[in-house]
Structure 1
Amino acid sequence: MIEIERKFLVTSEDFKTEAIRENRITQGFLNTDKARTVRVRLKGDSGFITVKGKSTEDGVSRFEWEKVISKTDAEALLILCEKGIIDKIRYEIEVGNHLFEVDEFFGENAGLIVAEVELSDPNETFEKPNWVGEEVTGDTKYYNSQLSKKPFLTW
């Protein structure tokens, strides 16, 4: 239940031609406390509720618990979420032995594109695609929970 991931800004839209899947995601936060966040997500016809713990000092890993819920339940819970619903398309791209998830944001976060890669070990090496730019792992302003409070267009 420990999530290990690295996060990067994306420098071009070249990833779109390499995507094997894409999904529209709507998500909100029932709680955005620094020690824990509780997220509700609607992805296609599926709903999810996720609890994330505080990140390690380097921002690479943190506790994550997620369960599938019905679309109806997710829609009902989104109404209860704090202000600042996130709207994005997630693209999945296979690069070497890893899966990169690239989020293209809309609404108040339009113009922001971020890539994440999940790892099995914090020191694991991985191939970086040419569209990956500056690493922003651990920079909390790029966390979705923070983007819901301080959107990209306000920076």
Structure 2
Amino acid sequence: MPVDAIKEMREMGARMKAILGLSASPVGVRFLNAEEAVEGAKILDRHRYCQALMRARHGQNVLLDAEGISCPAAARAFGFRPLPEHCAREKAWWDLELFPRRKWLRRCSSRCRIWRRGHRANSPLPSGEGGAIAGSGGG
């Protein structure tokens, strides 16, 4: 990613933070193919996706891949691996009371995948004045 693009992204993030009165930086997530690298990113191990986002919103440049992600639902959503059998049952999700209506649970469990074929990791990037944003490709 060109230095000018990084500078512009940080400026836009700082403006967004000021306009909206945010206490932390906005975060962008980039999906990576196997050949892509993110220079300077910390590769996370045994992290949930939400934890990676929290690190990014406080300025850290992080990378979470199939080996490092610990949340079964996020790992499935990103196409890293199928849900474990005990999580794949509808009752397990219903018991967590995350869905107010059972039909929403059914719809989500059959459709909720947010991955592209061939990606190996995702990298939540701080877009405010936080940590370094590096790597090739989009932002």
Quickly name the TM-score band, shorter chain normalised: under 0.3
The structure with the largest alpha-carbon Rg is: 2
Higher helix share: 2
Higher strand share: 1
TM-score, length-scaled by structure 1: 0.21
Structure scoring higher RCO (CA < 8 A, sep ≥ 6) equals: 2
